[in-house]
Copies of this chain bind each other. A is one copy, B any other.
Amino acid sequence: MEKFEINVLGCGSAKPSPIHNPSCTVVNFRDNLFMIDCGEGAQKEFQRQRLKFSRLNHIFLTHLHGDHVFGLPGLIGTMALSGLEGDITIHTFEDGKKILTSIFDYFNRGLPIDVKFNVIHPEESVIFENSSLRIGTVPLRHKIPAVGYVFEEKPRLRHINREMCDYHDVPLWAFNAIKSGDDFTKPDGTVIPNTLLTKDPLNPRSYAHISDTAYMPDLAEKIQGVDLLFHETTYLTQDLDKAKERGHSTATQAAQIALDAKAKCLLTGHYSSRYKNDNLFLEEAKTVFPNVILGKEGLKIMIDDKLQI
């Protein structure tokens, strides 16, 4: 199965703890790396996890708080010093383009990497698309404008049933059309229906990355049926008042979104450093939704049929 993997590089929150890095996640889609947020130290963790700078061309920022951004200037500098050329696109709000441009212009001037910006807006929209993947934003509710990102694999072609094709003497040149769903017409005029010649492809897969946000019940509808849902779990329910005040969610609220969205699996993260035992997030979320993975640095999650744990 083609690679669609989530790499956790940082699952701490604003005040770093000795055990967690600030926010950073890398989505590996068919060996193209897409980074979401870039907290301080992301470049070191990226290298520690043996990810390849040469495969990284897109960085998506959810919002402009320092713990999601401060690793960017160093990362870009190191990529350039590593001899990489070409360009890298940063997807962020207009404000982010302004402040990051001034930082790069000062510190990274003359480097061979061309940093491009794709200005996003705090509304739902498709911001990246190629033949196999679509990436869109969903608006979140935080203290400042913030978006989540949804990665959707496009429907794949049908699988050729080689035995049946051979039986009906289907020539190789017809395979592409058949994969796309066409029937096959034999030289004598007989039509062989596509369903006889092919098998169903695997279901397209999806990943939603929701950080940072207050609890948004209406979010579930927008990410209905997602395979893997990362939803921030900054607080435990015992600190629900703090979560509300600061525009964050509790583990229970994240699990409720996963349940309402009929997600296959929930990934936790963005932990407040006030808690010394991460397992509390897992335990709390599991009281609402059964399939929870406790996020931690170095974790790699393959999105496939085995995801439902």
A interface list, Cβ under 8 A from B: 14-16, 18, 22, 40-41, 43-44, 47-48, 64-67, 69-71, 73-74, 77-78, 81-82, 95, 99, 102-103, 106-108
Contact A77 B73 (CB under 8 A): no
* A66-B70 contact given A18-B48, A99-B102, CB 8 Å threshold: no
The contact of A15 among B14, B15, B78, by CB within 8 Å, is B78
Contact A40 B71 (CB under 8 A): yes
> Could you list some 16 contacts between A and B, CB below 8 A?
A14-B81, A15-B78, A15-B81, A15-B82, A16-B44, A16-B47, A16-B74, A40-B44, A40-B70, A40-B71, A64-B106, A65-B107, A66-B77, A67-B77, A69-B107, A70-B70
The contact of A41 among B41, B48, B67, by CB within 8 Å, is B41
From A14, A48, A66, A102, name the one whose CB has the most chain B CB atoms within 10 angstroms: A66
In the complex, what distance in Å separates the CA atom of A77 from the CA atom of B39? Answer: 13
Complex: chain B residue closest to A71, CB-CB: B40
Complex contacts, A81 vs chain B, CB 8 Å: 14-15
Complex contacts, A48 vs chain B, CB 8 Å: 18
The contact of A66 among B41, B64, B73, B102, by CB within 8 Å, is B73
Minimal beta-carbon separation of A42 from chain B (angstroms): 9
In the complex, what distance in Å separates the CA atom of A153 from the CA atom of B238? Answer: 51
* A103-B107 contact given A71-B40, A73-B66, CB 8 Å threshold: no
Minimal beta-carbon separation of A41 from chain B (angstroms): 5
Minimal beta-carbon separation of A309 from chain B (angstroms): 31
Complex: chain B residue closest to A48, CB-CB: B18
Complex contacts, A78 vs chain B, CB 8 Å: 15-16
Contact A74 B40 (CB under 8 A): yes
In the complex, what distance in Å separates the CA atom of A71 from the CA atom of B39? Answer: 11
In the complex, what distance in Å separates the CA atom of A106 from the CA atom of B144? Answer: 12
Contact B73 A70 (CB under 8 A): yes
Complex contacts, A82 vs chain B, CB 8 Å: 15
Contact A14 B70 (CB under 8 A): no
